[in-house]
Amino acid sequence: MAISDISLTAGMRNNLVSLQGTVDLLNRTQERLATGKRVNSPLDNATNYFVAKSHMDRASDLSVRKDGMGEAIQTVKAANAGIAGITDLIASAKGIAQSALSAATTERATLATQFDAIRSQIDTLAGDSGYKGTNLLSATAAERTLEVKFNEDGLNKLTITGSDATTSGLGVSATVGSWAEVSNVTVSIGKLDTALTNLRTQAKTLSSNLNIITTRDSFTQGMINVLSEGATKLTAADTNEEGANMLMLQVRQSLGTTALSLSAQAAQSVLRLF
C-alpha cells in the first residue's frame, strides 16, 4: 500500500511515527534480553562485533590445539605406563638371573627358560604401549615421533622422539647356552642393569615433556577463558538495565497507543457535523 493512499492528520502521523519507534526499541530490547548480548550483529556496533568475533575465532582455534595437547598427554602417559611395566619385567628377570648365579646347571637351564619367557613379554608390552597410532616405545622409528602444536598457527610446537624399548633396543638378548656357564648369567645381569639405566633416562625425558605439555595445556585453557571473557565484555548486555528499559518502553507503547487513539477521535469529530 502506498503512503499516499491514506491521508493521516499531522497529529496521527506524529503519534504513529513515535509508536513505531517505540516498537523498534522494544524489539531490540527483547533481542538483547533473549540473547544476553547488546551487540548481536555489525549493525549494533561494528567495531565491538568484529573484535569480539576475532577473540572467539582465536579461542576456537586454541580449543582445537588444546584437544591435540590432551591427546599428546595421553600418548606420553601410555609410554610412561609401558616403561613402568617393562621396568617391573626387567626387575623380575634380574631376580631370576641372580638366583641362577648360585643354582646348579640343570636349575639354571630352567631359570633361563623363565628368563627368556619374561624377555618375550617385554617386546609384547612395548608393542602395546601405543596410543592413537603413536607408540613412543616402538621398535619402528616412524611410530615413535610425536609433534605437539601449541598456538593457533602451529609455529610453537614440541617434537617428542621416543626410544626403542623392546629387548632389541634395550640390548637385552636371549640367554646364551641356557646359562650353562655362570659367566653367561653375569653377562645377562650386566645387560639388564644397562637396560634399567636406559629406561630410567627415558622415563625422565618423557616426564619432562609431559610437564611441558601439561603446562601449555593449562596456559591454553587460561587464554581461551581470557579471550571468551574479553568477547563477552564487548558484547554482553546489562540485563538489569535492559529489563528496566523494557518496562519503560511498555509504558511508552501504552501511552503512544492512547495518544494515537485520541488523535483518531479528533478526526472522527468531523462525522458529528452530519
Q: Where along the chain do its domains lie?
A: 9-36+237-266, 68-226
Q: Distance (Å, rounded) from C-alpha 15 to C-alpha 249?
A: 15
- Residue 88 grid coordinates: 617391573
Decide: 146 and 60 in contact? Cβ < 8 Å.
no
| 3-state secondary structure at position 159 | strand
Report the pLDDT value the prediction gives residue 264, as an integer from 0 to 100: 64
Q: What are the C-alpha distances in Å from 29 to residues 39, 44, 45, 257?
A: 11, 12, 15, 19
CB neighbours of residue 153 within 10 Å = 8
| 3-state secondary structure at position 131 | strand
Report the pLDDT value the prediction gives residue 39, as an integer from 0 to 100: 86
Report the pLDDT value the prediction gives residue 104, as an integer from 0 to 100: 92
Report the pLDDT value the prediction gives residue 31, as an integer from 0 to 100: 77
Report the pLDDT value the prediction gives residue 7, as an integer from 0 to 100: 64
Of the CATH numbers 1.10.3210.10, 2.60.34.30, 3.30.830.10, 1.20.1330.10, which one belongs to the domain with range 68-226? 1.20.1330.10
CA contacts within 13 A on the Cβ side of 150? 15
- The tens-digit pLDDT sequence of the chain (274 residues) is 455 566 666 666 776 677 677 777 777 777 778 778 888 888 888 999 999 999 999 999 999 999 999 999 999 999 999 999 999 999 999 999 999 999 998 999 999 999 999 999 999 999 999 999 999 999 999 899 999 999 999 899 999 999 999 999 999 999 888 899 999 999 999 999 999 999 999 999 999 999 999 999 999 999 999 999 999 889 877 777 777 877 777 877 776 677 667 666 665 665 555 5
